[in-house]
């Protein structure tokens, strides 16, 4: 495995609009994307950028709100009505190689490799095999 940078922390929220207000007014975030629907993943998504010394490629907060009653994050929000940390996402240089390595280590992978909210291939690893954290693996975006 070749660990890349922490791309984002996934934060489930019952209201992206309320979370945007929080990150802007309480946390002082100045770079927040326009929310968009990702119906095939069952979520609405919004990215909050954190700054870096270079001004580029800061770790993001990925706000996710249920898209509908079948959303995979409905269960999480039922247990955590105020929302909270849902997953962490690390970049890797080669998604297929990373998947094969995790499989070789006996880690449970949740579903197929698919295109995630950033337009790059991703997959998720079972939290029980990952120190209690639902872990997303993302191929490093080409423009980074
Ligand atoms: Co994510």
pTM: 0.93
pLDDT at 1: 83
- State the distance from the centre of ligand 1 to the C-alpha of 33, rounded, in angstroms: 15
Edge-first strand order for the sheet with 43-49 is 36-38, 43-49, 60-66, 6-12, 84-92, 135-139, 121-125, 109-115
Q: How confident is the model at residue 53 (pLDDT cuts 50, 70, 90)?
A: confident
Read off the pLDDT of each residue in 92-116 and give the average, rounded to a whole number: 96
- State the distance from the centre of ligand 1 to the C-alpha of 45, rounded, in angstroms: 9
- State the distance from the centre of ligand 1 to the C-alpha of 63, rounded, in angstroms: 9
- State the distance from the centre of ligand 1 to the C-alpha of 65, rounded, in angstroms: 12
Helices then strands, counting H and E runs in the chain, come out as: 3, 8
91 in catalytic set = no
pLDDT at 24: 97
pLDDT higher than 60, residue 144: no
Q: What angle do CA 122, 125, 128 make, to 5 degrees?
A: 165
- State the distance from the centre of ligand 1 to the C-alpha of 64, rounded, in angstroms: 8
Q: How far apart are CA 6 and CA 65, in angstroms?
A: 21
Catalytic residue among 65, 91, 136, 139: 136
In three-state secondary structure terms, 90 is strand
């Amino acid at each position: 495995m070749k660990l890349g940078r922490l791309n984002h922390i996934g934060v489930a929220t019952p209201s992206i609009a309320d979370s945007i207000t929080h990150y802007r007014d309480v946390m002082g975030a100045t770079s927040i994307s326009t929310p968009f629907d990702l119906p095939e993943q069952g979520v609405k998504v919004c990215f909050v950028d954190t700054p870096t010394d270079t001004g580029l490629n800061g770790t993001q907060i990925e706000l996710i709100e249920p898209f509908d009653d079948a959303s995979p994050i409905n269960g999480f929000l039922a247990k955590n009505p105020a929302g909270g940390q849902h997953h962490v996402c690390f970049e890797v240089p080669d998604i297929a190689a990373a998947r094969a390595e995790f499989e070789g280590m006996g880690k449970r992978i949740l579903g197929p490799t698919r295109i995630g909210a950033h337009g790059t291939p991703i997959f998720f690893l079972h939290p029980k095999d990952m120190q209690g954290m639902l872990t997303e693996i993302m191929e490093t975006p080409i423009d980074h």
